Structure 1
Amino acid sequence: MEHYLGVAVSISTYAFLFLGEYCMTFELIPKWFIDKKEVTYCGYIWFALFQIFFVLAIVSHLKATFMEPGYTPKFPVPGDIPIEKIRYCEKCDQWKPDRTHHCRACKKCIHRMDHHCPWINNCVGAKNQKFFACFLFYVFLCCLEVISIMIYIVFLYFGLKDKTFKDGLVSLLVSVFTGVIASVFLVFTATMFYDQIEVIISNQTEVEKMGNLIGTEKSVMQNLKESLGTFPLNWFNPFVDSPDPDYSEVLYSCKDKTKKE
């Protein structure tokens, strides 16, 4: 049942994205920008930007959904780990490195698991966290553009004396409706994106927060490079995979870390 619910939520994400694509491409931009000679250049810029954000959001979502989130390989237990500190997953029949957590939904051990997300019907882990962050970022930009255009259309309809805009009441209502939905998703994606960047730069997943644990202390730039890629220009490029995770990284208690500082 949980799996089918995740599939339904994931599909609803595409329904929202394609609703925005339809309204922007066939309703709002053509009628209020491209068809009006006074603002033609703006229409093409808005249209090009939205298509770029839309495609990148779709690619990011597909990779976050179908790319394995970081299934922990069946490593032999390192000999330098004391017996009392060995973590073993009976369900997967394998040793669990410090930053590995077993997901009951995926039924697998996942390295640096942050959470199981219904929006991608997959876990967010070491190998797909970049794509989940990219998805949130580009949906945020799509929503921001929709809201900006909605505000501008309202201004055109009520603020200008030019009667050529007065025949667009239905289109105005579509704009407002789309803008309201976009506003809800803008707040949601902005909040989630902030949370993802926070856990990346702090090197501490949501699961680890609940256990009052934290990864090895590193600089913000090191944490960003290990999660998003070594080359900053590719951090929000969903066509470039993130680096392979370090399965040997040790977790520390937040209290112990405070004492060391």
Structure 2
Amino acid sequence: MSETLALDRNNQCCGRRFWFVKDICGIICAVITWLLVLYAEYVVLIVIILPISSIYPCYSAVNLMIFEVLAFLAVFSHLKAMLTDPGAVPQGNATKEAVQQLGLQEGQVVYKCPKCCCIKPERAHHCSVCQRCIRKMDHHCPWVNNCVGENNQKYFVLFTFYIAVISAHAFFLAISQFITCINGDWKECSSYSPPVTVVLLLFLVFEALLFAIFTLVMFCTQVQAIWNDETGIEQLKNESIRWQKQSPKRNMRTVFGQFSLGWFSPFSGPSFPSKKTEGCLYAV
């Protein structure tokens, strides 16, 4: 029991108010993500927006507002995906007494996870990084330092969506600024020397293009998995379907809730399905 409590504390922080996986690789990847967003913020604001704000005030103000709102939503979605319990199954509940309380009928069995000593619900998988069984685990993502599961999949989808959009916007701004500098005066379009400006813009173009493609692919993959009610790990393992599939629209509502602007908000949580103990039982 003491080992179980120790593992529970490893995934908690701030007085157990937040879920946090203490994985050094994941923490480094999360910090790199924030630094890349911060770099894009710096180049867009200092190198692109401010130098032309006096010449094109409306253009600069609109693009700055769009970029800042998208950046805030992307970072907040990332934090929510990282600090939300993805659907961890309580550890150490696979005791003899707990199994007896399930009231198993003839022909029913209960599955246990030997690694975290829990009663394993249907469609749950054990994550070796989180050291827990996760409900509807899709995959473990080091970029958010967390598993993508039942409780935080919405936030991960929003994170990939907003990063893709902000990357496309940064790519457009960088290309436009580069063309403006070539056709005009470098002193008017940038406070840096031409070589430094070119390097900063080229790196932003490369970063924006790379992340736009990567996150767009992830976004489409996640939406497809939700639509088909089949997680990434279930597709990878080619697991036989033992659960009753719902309609695509119902699957989307399960993750995002009723269709509204709340779908695009990381401030509103997903509509969690009821967690019944019967989900642990399979007829054999």
The TM tier, using the shorter chain, reads 0.7 to 0.9
1:27 corresponding residue in structure 2: 47
Q: Which amino acid letter does the alignment assign opposite residue 94 of structure 1?
A: C
Q: Which amino acid letter does the alignment assign opposite residue 143 of structure 1?
A: S
1:224 corresponding residue in structure 2: 252
Structure 2 counterparts to residues 77-116 of structure 1, below 5 A:
78-79=102-103, 85-116=109-140
Q: Which amino acid letter does the alignment assign opposite residue 207 of structure 1?
A: I
Q: Which residue among 45, 48, 62 is the counterpart of 1:45?
A: 62
SS at match of 1:64: helix
Q: Which amino acid letter does the alignment assign opposite residue 192 of structure 1?
A: M
CA contact under 8 A between 2:48 and 2:189: conserved in structure 1? no
SS at match of 1:243: coil
2:175 corresponding residue in structure 1: 151
CA contact under 8 A between 1:117 and 1:124: conserved in structure 2? yes
Structure 2: which 5+ runs fail to align?
1-21
Q: Does 1:58 align with 2:58?
A: no
Structure 1: which 5+ runs fail to align?
252-261
Structure 2 counterparts to residues 1-261 of structure 1, below 5 A:
3-31=23-51, 33-36=52-55, 39-73=56-90, 74=93, 78-79=102-103, 85-158=109-182, 160=183, 162-163=184-185, 168=190, 169=194, 170-209=196-235, 210-214=237-241, 215-247=243-275
CA shift at 1:187, angstroms?
0.9
SS at match of 1:213: coil
CA shift at 1:247, angstroms?
3.7
CA contact under 8 A between 2:44 and 2:173: conserved in structure 1? no
Q: Residue 64 and residue 245 in structure 1: after superposition, are their counterparts in 2 closer, same or farther (change >3 A)?
A: same
CA contact under 8 A between 1:65 and 1:120: conserved in structure 2? yes
TM (norm. structure 2) is 0.78
Q: Residue 167 and residue 27 in structure 1: after superposition, are their counterparts in 2 closer, same or farther (change >3 A)?
A: closer
Q: Distance in 2 between matches of 1:17 and 1:44?
A: 20
TM (norm. structure 1) is 0.85
For residues 4-56 of structure 1, the C-alpha deviation after alignment (integer angstroms, 9 at most, x for no partner) is 1111111111110111111112221111x3132xx221111100000000100
Q: Distance in 1 between matches of 2:106 and 2:128?
A: 27
For residues 51-85 of structure 1, the C-alpha deviation after alignment (integer angstroms, 9 at most, x for no partner) is 00010011111111111101124595654666564
1:254 corresponding residue in structure 2: none
Q: Pairwise CA RMSD of aligned residues? A: 2.4
Q: Which amino acid letter does the alignment assign opposite residue 58 of structure 2?
A: Y
SS at match of 2:151: coil
Q: Which amino acid letter does the alignment assign opposite residue 66 of structure 2?
A: L
Identity %: 30
Aligned residues: 245
